[in-house]
Amino acid sequence: MKRLVWTLVLMAVTPVALFAQNETAVTRNAEKLARALYLIETRYVDTLDMDKAIDEMLENLVERLDPHSSYIPKSQVETVNEPLDGSFEGIGIEFAIIADTLTVQSAMAGGPSEAVGLRAGDKIVAVDGENIAGIGLTNDGVRSRLRGPKGSKVELKVLRGEAPLSFIIRRDTIPINSVDAAYLPENGIIYVKISRFAQNTGKEFYEALLGLAKTRPKGIIIDLRGNGGGFMHVAVMLADIFLREGQVIVRTEGNGIDREDRATGMGFYPEGPLVVLVDENSASASEILAGALQDWDRAVIVGRRTFGKGLVQQQYPFADGSEIRLTVARYHTPSGRVVQSPYEMGNRTAYFRQARERYEHGESFSRDSIMMPDSLQFKTLRLGRTVYGGGGILPDVFVPYDTTGINQYVTRVIGSGALQEFANDYLDKHRSDLSADDFAAFQKRYAGCEARAWDGLLAYCTEKGIEPAAESELAACEPILRTRLKALLARGVLGTTGYWQVINQEEDPEFQRALEIVKGWKGTFPTSF
């Protein structure tokens, strides 16, 4: 009987194909591990939580690999995969926990919360009769209460200003949008901001382009700043929109993997002004897209050097519902560049500290601080321009990180949550003054109440115990706070596109540089930037 139990344990740990091999290292180690598990389970003097111990063992093992391989316990699989899956089942709100109170940031368009009238600024104080205000609520606590099977109902008690309201909401399938904003900053020029490369990103991107392009676009700006990546095939799909048939998009090489992805020639926009915005938080699939378009001299890359993640992960499930996300390949841009930053196996701390060290060394503020040896030089495939490998995508046009006006008062106002709280309260009381169908109408309405909103913010911050700024300190940071306040109010009225319209127009030098390049574009690719 014991022999049978041990054999079953061994079969659970070791793939059947391995039994056909002769005493390889893999089979020896699998047998050793299975034997140890069996002995601990059946002979150990005390009781051990084996599920927890095996989770910790696998986590420790994967920690010894590259920085991007990971083990995902069953309890975390849904949370980890959800941003890329493209949907979840719930009530459809974006939320924040402000002053220990669950506060609606926006009701997702077309979702069940919007349908019943829930809106930005509403404070949810009870769910199905359970008080959730002032109890130390966490994000996980919110999800466990508000999410549930499609068709199930949840009752919410809400404060809108001082008025108590009740809502009964029937949960539904909620899409997770990866296109945060899409609009025309000027006639015929399309701006699209992509936050991640998820299952639905290609569809969202196409719909954004086709919805805005009544005629052939005069230019397109793709904003990948802060986009940490996602599915590689989605980045390939987007690159295909802008390249010509047969042009290589990415080369992938690994253990038993050697492939090239090429453009199909069915692209929507294979020529014309194109700019891609990147920064130090653009990674992985973002770098595949930016690198391919740069190598083919198809787009001007604007911003700062990207993170440098050129490793491809494959997710493998276990029978208990947990998963291992294992690095299986490296990718190369069409010119042959390696995008992956150097790393030491098992030393994740040093690897992720590189981003901070770049900042400390001045890379975020000066192109001259980025040291690239000649050995890492490559040539673009059409015009022969010099580009670099060895860690991230170096932009064609460097725009330094802008710290103008960032001081202690700004940090206190934003970091304390006071700015967001005030914006929510202001919308509660003055929504009718700001209500608009488009950004131009919002601009006009906000101009009539901007002074009142600004004075109200300063008074609110003082009431919340934030020490007023000295005159010179306030003068320095006033433009930032005014812009952020306006952007939050625009989001409450027009959604995330409204937010980015304000930020891009009033605060963002990278966006302004991109717009200049698009408007000054000559021929198939600019000769100077």
Q: Which amino acid is at 521?
A: W
Residue 415 CA: distances (Å) to CA of 173, 360, 408, 459, 506: 33, 22, 10, 17, 21
Nearest alpha-carbon partner for 529 in 337, 397, 406, 414 = 397
Active site residue 203: no
Point out the catalytic residue in the list 309, 341, 364, 486: 309
DSSP state of 342: P
Instruction: Output the six-digit token pair for 165.
Output: 């309201």
Look at residues 458, 479, 471, 461 and name the one whose alpha carbon lies nearest to residue 403.
479
Reading the block at residue 396, the tokens are: 């064609």
Q: Are strands 257-262 and 248-254 parallel, antiparallel or unpaired?
A: antiparallel
Residues 312 and 318: their CA atoms lie apart, in Å, by 20
Per the CB < 8 A criterion, the answer to whether 226 and 279 are in contact is yes
Counting Cα atoms < 13 Å in the Cβ hemisphere of 147 gives: 16
> Which residue is it, tokens 């938080």?
281
Residue 262 token pair: 């090429």
C-alpha distances out from residue 421 to 122, 227, 418, Å:
11, 27, 5
Pairing of strands 219-223, 172-175: unpaired
Burial class (CB in 10 A: 0-12, 13-18, 19+), 253: middle
Phi first, then psi: what are they for 434, rounded to 5°?
-105, -10
Give start and end residues of each alpha helix (H) in 376-508.
408-415, 418-434, 439-447, 450-463, 471-494, 496-507
* E-strand stretches of 365-412: 377-379, 386-388, 397-398
Distance CA 57, CA 37 (A): 11
Q: Which of 205, 197, 126, 111 is nearest to 159 (CA)?
A: 126
Radius of gyration from C-alpha coordinates of the chain: 26
Q: State the catalytic residue, choosing from 284, 322, 341, 364.
A: 284
To which H or E segment does residue 51 belong?
helix 50-63
Q: Taking the alpha carbons of 362, 367, 371, 376 in that order, is the dihedral positive or negative? A: positive
Q: Where are the alpha helices (DSSP H) in 172-231?
A: 201-212
Does residue 393 contact residue 294 with C-beta atoms inside 8 Å?
yes
What token pair was written down for 38? 């069996």
Residue found by looking up tokens 């399938």 in the block:
173
Asked if 528 is an active-site residue, the reply is: no
Query: Which active-site residues does the annotation give?
Result: 284, 309
